[in-house]
Structure 1
Amino acid sequence: MDELGKKIDKVSNQLTDLRWEIWTKHSLFTWQWWMLLATCILFLLLFFFFVKKEKALSTTAYLGIIYIINKNLDDMATAMDWYDYRLQLEPIIPTMLPANLFIIPIGFSILYQRFERWKSFLISIGIFAGFVSYLALPLMKMVDIYLEKAWNANWSFISLVLMSIISKTIIDRLKQAYKDT
């Protein structure tokens, strides 16, 4: 077991070295890198601009659940080699930090806060999930940020819609339970 652990450590260190190399030689300060950075800043500003103080706790809790689900799904998908990210904002994390921490959680959180009724919420998340899955991801492929392997836009759409529904259900039930006490 110790020998296998040493092999894993060696391969992991080699992978980290390769990530640093590709990041410093092919990603850092490219126009795609600046676009990813600007997108993070834009979504952070949108969050602070649109989130109402009286709904900040539930909206932030919703954001947290979306982040946890999305990050874990992305970790699993990249580990299973279903897709990969060729250009990154930072070199260490193999998943797409701008999407996992900013675009998807903040986008869905703003919609969660804005559309409280299920019908309007479902329509809005369908539109946003469609934008991410059928427009943003193909654009990311075109500019060599995203590499699709055993994955497709339909799976992205379904996973985004399901994670937003699950998150809303959890937060709404917690709010109701808190109200009932």
Structure 2
Amino acid sequence: MPSTNEAVNQIRNEYKRVTFEHWYRDDFLSLPWWFLLAATILPWVIWWRWLRVPTRTPELLLCVFAWTIIAMFCDVWGAYLLLWGYPDKLMPTVPPFLPADMSVIPLSFTCAYQFTASWRTYLLAVLALSACFSYIIEPLFIHFGMFEIHDWRHTYSLLGFILAAILMRYSMLRWHAVAGMRPVDA
């Protein structure tokens, strides 16, 4: 009888093979794949070219980086626990939904941070973004077969986005205080 670790590695090797085969046959160069590629690149082009404030670039990139870590961690965790899944992938690797985790979500919430001067306006922007992601984008992606939920509700996503956004703004304001910078809103 193989050790537990050997058995896990055998299953992981089979999973890797099947995942790559599915990706190559069903995802690679398909219409959803091109959409995912565009969703990975275009938000960065738009943000860098028109939305970014050059004097705040290091601060905003820190915010984007932190959001990316949060999004990737939550996505890997949720997919691992089979709370949700992604039938279509840009790449046959983890994180499963690279465009959302490294582009759309971080840049959207960074814009909310960037363009709001008070907690009140920030919370309104975050509520609108969170509702859009949870109740419009998630159902659209489910409809088009690019996202599936199992033991999950859109309201959980809404609450998760809002909580993460509150913690993010609080952390950024604390970072301003520690760095001796003038915060946007205390």
Q: TM-score range by the shorter chain?
A: over 0.9
Q: Residue by residue, what CA displacement relative to the aligned partner does 1:6-37 show, whole Å, maximum 9, x if unpaired?
A: 11111111111111111111111111111111
Structure 2: stretches of 5+ with no match in the other structure? 182-186
Q: Residue by residue, what CA displacement relative to the aligned partner does 1:149-172 show, whole Å, maximum 9, x if unpaired?
A: 001111111111111111111111
Q: Residue by residue, what CA displacement relative to the aligned partner does 1:123-170 show, whole Å, maximum 9, x if unpaired?
A: 111111111111111111111111110011111111111111111111
Larger helix proportion of the pair? 1
8 Å CA contact 2:28, 2:90 repeated in 1: yes
1:60 positional shift: 1.1
Match of 2:144 in 1: 143
Q: Which runs of 4+ in 1 moved over 6 A?
A: none
1:94 positional shift: 4.8
1:166 maps to a residue whose letter is: L
Match of 2:24 in 1: 24
1:116 positional shift: 2.5
Length-normalised TM-score, structure 2: 0.92
Confirm whether residue 59 of structure 1 aligns to residue 44 of structure 2.
Answer: no
Equivalenced residue count is 179
What is the CA RMSD across the aligned residues, in angstroms? 1.3
Structure 1: stretches of 5+ with no match in the other structure? none
Match of 2:184 in 1: none
Q: Residue by residue, what CA displacement relative to the aligned partner does 1:24-56 show, whole Å, maximum 9, x if unpaired?
A: 111111111111111112111122021111111
Match of 2:94 in 1: 93
Match of 2:106 in 1: 105
- Secondary structure, counterpart of 2:148 in structure 1: strand
| Alpha-carbon distance between aligned partners in 2 of 1:116 and 1:55, rounded to the nearest angstrom | 14
2:167 maps to a residue whose letter is: I
| Alpha-carbon distance between aligned partners in 1 of 2:152 and 2:46, rounded to the nearest angstrom | 30
Of structures 1 and 2, the one scoring higher in RCO (CA 8 A, sep 6+) is 1
| Alpha-carbon distance between aligned partners in 2 of 1:94 and 1:148, rounded to the nearest angstrom | 16
1:75 positional shift: 1.1
Matches within 5 A, 1:126-137: 126-137=127-138
Deviation larger for 148-157 or 65-74: 65-74
8 Å CA contact 1:85, 1:94 repeated in 2: no
| Alpha-carbon distance between aligned partners in 2 of 1:104 and 1:67, rounded to the nearest angstrom | 8
2:31 maps to a residue whose letter is: W
